[in-house]
Each structure stands twice: as structure tokens, then as C-alpha cells.
Chain A
Amino acid sequence: MNKTKRFCAIALAAMMAVTAFAGCGPAATPDTPTGGDTSAATGGDTSVTESTDPLGGEGAGGTINLKVWGPDAVQDVLKSQCATFSENMKSYGDVQIEVVPQGEADSATQVLTDASAAADVFGFACDNLDKLVTAGALLEVAGADKDFVTSSNSEASVGAATKDDKIWAYPETGDNSYCLVYDKRVVSAEQAKTLEGTLEACKAANKKFVMDAGNGYYSCLFMFTGGLKIEGYEEDGETQKFSEYDEDKVVKTMLAFSKLFVEYKDNFLNGEVTKVVDGFKSGTVGAGFDGSWNFSSAKDALGENAGFTVLPTINVDGTDTPIVNMFGYKLLGVNSSTKYPNTAIELAKFLSGEDCQRERAEKLNWGPSNKVVAESDLVKNDEALNAILSQSANSVPQVGVAATFWTPVGTFGSKVVDADNPLDEAAAKELIKTTIANVRDE
């Protein structure tokens, strides 16, 4: 009797799972399952009880094959973590995990091109969350899984995985942003506190200061610092919503930046962030705004002279205002077309869990989103990790950023730092207006 009941439960679960797979198929036949392993229904492994099996009975149908995408730099760590997961799950099923290198920048594009050929669990940068959710490519995080995510990760990182009040992914890091990286021989820790001091120090040593001001990811700080921030979408779900702002303050901040970059134009290098480390190597750069993914190269280039700190302040109208930037998170997503949703969810939970985050912080210098790891000595004692995690306090999370945001804001940045045509008040006002209109596609 009991056996029959259990059989029914498993069969039902399998049926449900099977219907779920249909999402990846040609989708022309919504009512019929197009793939999956129906033998799960008849597998009936008696050692499995539905209350404890985290794989939801998926292990009963034979080998579970999963594919995981992670960037090249983490392959070794990721492989060993996946092996640990397979080992842990041994009693529930044979989980075979293939780890395939795929950068976070590319993975969303590829999932959107063809979800059925993509990985079951993949890492991506949180600015792609909207695209992926809109396209229905991610499996929602619900129920107990949701509690797990919200309780263990920082509020901001969970916010980065949220859209329309639902959570869609598992935070993996809390460091996808940039801060001030400097050569301690050129810029003193005291000077690094203000942008004026940093630029002055670079000028004194005849070195450059690097910022990618034509790139919306960096140039948004010109508007954020003045209080013009973004707040997700309007009700249509695609038009960028901007915060209420004090035009006077935004203009003054822009003019303060503009004035500095005109004043120090011979020491300002407007270019890709790779130029920061390049310049450290060749001795031409004193400081720059550089991303966390380049921190280890910066350490290689400067050794113990590498300095990391939060973005400096800028003097607006007599007050030192901290620069506010955009702060991103790396997330792990579960592909909605996966054949093994339960196992994939378990794997994503495991990889985004405390132990894995600690290991990555230790071996790869990835800043954690996990609250416990973020508070640990390991992180507190690391200057770079500390700098980037502190920056998150003064930042706008990279959530709900419209696809139309980047190009106009890049244009905005190019104009703010344009030393040949320095901004005046009228031009700054006009620029704010057109940029907002352009982002909102109006």
C-alpha cells in the first residue's frame, strides 16, 4: 500500500518534470512533453523517500547529466566544487557534471540565442537578469530555496537577483564593480581619499589617471554622485525610471567633474580599464578606476605597492561628496529548459553557498555575497576585497538597468570629460535632459 503511494508520488513528480522540459523544445506542441526521461516513473528506487531526496526523484531515472558554465579563471575551483556536489548526492543519484568555460558576459547572450543548447546552471552578471527573466530563460527561486537565498546573502545582492518581487537567481559574488586602484609610491593613502588629491599626486609625478569615461558602466558615476539615480523600470517594464533629483546639485556635480578633468587634462587618460594595469607595468599610470576582475593583475604588476580603496570624494560647492557608482553582482541562474530542475537547483544552491563562496574568496579573491563570509577575517584583512565591499555602501545596485541605458550614458560621460568643449551650466542642463530622454527612448 505504502509502496503504491510512493510510486504515485514519484510518477507525478516525473510527469511534472517532463512537462517542464517542453519549454526547450520546438514549443509548437504545448500540451505534449517533448523530452525528458519518463523512465523515472518506473524506476521506483525504494531507498528514496520523497521527503529527504533533494533531487526530487530525478536520480531514479539513471545518470543525471548537467552542464555548468563558469569563466575560465575559475575552472579548477568550479570543477572541484562540482565533484564535491556529485559526491554529496551519491546516495540519491549518479550526477555527472560537465564544467564548460564560458565568460559571464557571453553566457546570457548564448542562453537567449538557444536555451536548449545552454548550460543547466550558469553564471552571469546581474545586468543581464532582466533580459533573461523577460525571455523566460530562468527558473524562479521559490519556497524553501527562496528562504535559503534571502537568509544567507546580503540584501543588496538578493535585490540584484530580484525582478517583479520575485527572486530569479542565486547570488554568487558581491564584488562586480570598480573602485580606486593606485600606485602607493605615487599617491598616498591620504591623497587617495579625494579625487583632487589623487589627480594632483598624478600630476606631481607626471603620471596618468585612467578612467573609461565613454563607457556607461563608469560614466554613470557623474550622474549618480549628483543624486540623479536610476530606480528600475516604469510600469511598462522596459522604460528606465530615474529618481527625483535636484537639477542644481546634479549640474554642480557635473561641472565639478568637468572642471577637474579640464584642469588636469594632461594627466587624464580616457580609455579602457586595461590601461590601468598596463600603465602600472610601464610606469606611466599613477591611479585609475579599475574593476575587481583586474585586481589580481594589479597586484602582479605593483606587488605590495598596489593600493585599493573606495572611490574618492569630489569637492562640489565646498563639500567633499563621496562618488557613487554602479555596483554589480554575479549570479548563478538555473536554465528553465533544464531536464533536471531539482538537481540543477540543488547544484546552484550548493555553488552559491557559504563553503563555496569562502573557497572562491580564498583562492580566487572573489568578494562574497554571503553574509557570513563577508564578515570573516579572510575578507576583512584583504585590502582589495575590503575596498570593493565597502564601495557597495556608496553605490547604486546594477538592477533594473534598461538595455538602452549604456550608450546614452556613455555619450554623457564623453561630454562631461571633454576638455576641448568644457561644459557650462546651460550645456549641462541640456545634456541631462537629452540623456534622460534618450535612455527612456522618448
Chain B
Amino acid sequence: MIKSYKLRRTIADVVIYVLLGVLGLIWVSPLVWLVLHSFRGEGGVTVPYVFPKQPTLENYKLLFTRTDVFDYPRWFLNTFVVAVFSCIISSLSVLMVSYAFSRLRFKSRKMFINIGMILGMFPGFMTMIALYYLLKAMNLTQTLPALVICYSAGSGLGFAISKGFFDTIPRALDEAATIDGATRNQIFWKIILPMSKPIIVYTVLTAFIGPWCDFILAKIIMGDKRDNYTVAIGLQKMVDKEYKQTYFKQFLSGSVLVAIPITILFLKMQNYYVEGVTAGGVKG
């Protein structure tokens, strides 16, 4: 009986290992393809075989040398700067909003929460043209600060997860601190924030990744000002009809270079991310 139970468990484990192996392979193989073909020297967009025949570093070299049309290094730097600033502003505003909604009690708090939830449900494309002219009225179009504003201004609406996280911190802590004479400001900075590393990491990570992915709004705002493009616009442009034939392999190598820093960051912070999203997601 015990033996057969053990045997069954071993079989189950083997099945799981096999399944995980197969699934894992399915999940990473597109990325492996990406990396492999970023070293491909021959052919254009598609080739009728799996492994490149002439491996080369040329595609990476061209990213940094053939900069007259696609100034990749500059765009990479732009994106990094925008990501850092918008990440700081959005993290702060998400944390502030969710703290207020979670820990403070004030008139029409419920109403604010409901409005916040509902505003996030509008599909945003029509608003882009309005955003453009608002920024133009402020003389900000075609600049990097405009992008920072666009990416971080609405971030306060993404309070759900971190509010959920704050909700799990016992209220007794606040009460004890209030008795000791701490103001709410001090409670936020000195007590709540230090306890919120997971949710801060979660917020920072999501805010940081955003600018690397947006290619629609950024392009409308930047227009013909190529010096201020971000990597996402550039990569998207590389696969446009006009450039695809020539630049597709550089698109692959450029994507690999974008993915590397984010991957490292992500893997390092993974545990905090999981903790944050778990605690926040349950209460939502």
C-alpha cells in the first residue's frame, strides 16, 4: 500500500517534470529564436529554416554605428531617462493615492474610489489627440517631459493593488503611533512605507516598464522629432513597410538589448513582486 502510494507519487512527479519541461520549452523557444536570429547574418525578414547559417555580431554593431536613420543608442538613453522620471512620479502618486484611500477616512472617500475605478475602464485612443493639444498649449510637444507627464499623470488611477496591500497592514500600528503623537505624515513615511517594500517594488517595476512598450502615444507626441524618439517607436518603425526589408535583423538585436536590462531587473526583484501582487490582489 505504502509502496504503491510512493510509486504513484513518483509517477506523478515524473509526469509533472515532463509537462513543465515541455511547457517551459514552449515558453522560452520564441525568445531563443529571437536571440538566435539577432545574430543572423544572411537573409531578410524570414528564412525557411530554424538555425541561422551565418552567425555574426553585425546586427548589434549596426545598431550603434548606422545611426543616421535609427539612432538606437540615443533612443535607448531617452527611454531610460523617461522611464526613470515617470517611474519616480508614478510610484509616488500611486502610493499616495492608495495610502489615502486605504488608511485615511474622509468625506466622499467611497465616491473617489468609485470614480477612480470607473475612469480606468475607458479605452483611451480618442483622448490622444486631446492630450496632444493640451501639451501643445503648454508648449511641451516633441519633448521628453511631455512623455513623462503622459506616463505618470494618470498613474494615480492604478491604486487598486497597492490599496489592497495597505489594507493588509494592521490598523493597530497606526493607532499606536497616533497615541505616541505621530502625525499622519510621519506615519506614512516612517511606518507604512518601510513596511511596504514589496508593493513599492511592484509599483516601481510596472511604472518602469511602461515607457519601453508604448509606441502609439509616444509617436503622436514626438512627430518628426527623431532625436526624442523612444526605443519603442524606433523598434516599431523598423518593421514598417519602408524599412522592414533592411532593418528587420536590427529590430531583433535591438529587442534583445531592450529585454536584457528589464529581464535582469525583473528576475532580481521577482520575489518582492510576487509578494506585493499577492497581498494586493486578494483584497484588490
Contacts and interface: CB of A to CB of B under 8 A. Distances in A.
Q: Do A and B bind each other?
A: yes
B7 interface: no
A105 B48 contact: no
Interface in B229-252: 240-246
Contacts of A54: none
A285 to B, nearest CB: 10
Interface string B190-205: 0000000000000000
B134 interface: no
A105 B46 contact: no
Nearest to A280: B44
Decide if the interface of chain B is mainly helix, strand, loop or mixed: loop
Contacts of A282: 43, 46-48
A102 B241 contact: no
A284 B48 contact: yes
B180 interface: no
Interface in A158-205: none
A281 B43 contact: yes
Contacts, number: 71
A113 B246 contact: no
B121 interface: no
A274 B45 contact: yes
SS class of chain A's interface: helix, strand, loop or mixed? helix
A274 B224 contact: no
Interface string A259-274: 0000000000000111
Contacts of A275: 45-46
Interface string A289-309: 000011001000100000000
B9 interface: no
Interface residues of B, number: 26
A103 B238 CA distance: 12
B14 to A, nearest CB: 41
Contacts of B240: 103, 105
A70 to B, nearest CB: 11
Given A281-B44, A282-B43, A284-B48, A114 B223 contact: yes
A281 B240 CA distance: 20
B48 A293 contact: no
Contact of B242 (A103, A113, A278): A103
Interface string B44-57: 11111000000000
A92 interface: no
Interface string B13-51: 000000000000000000000000000001111111000
A290 to B, nearest CB: 10
B171 to A, nearest CB: 50
Interface of A: 69, 71-73, 75, 100-103, 105, 110, 113-114, 117-119, 272-275, 277-278, 281-282, 284, 293-294, 297, 301
18 contacts: A71-B242, A101-B224, A101-B226, A105-B240, A113-B129, A113-B223, A114-B133, A114-B136, A114-B141, A117-B142, A117-B224, A118-B224, A274-B241, A278-B43, A278-B44, A278-B47, A282-B43, A297-B246
What 5 pairs between A and B have smallest CB-CB spacing? Answer: A278-B44, A72-B69, A103-B242, A278-B45, A100-B224
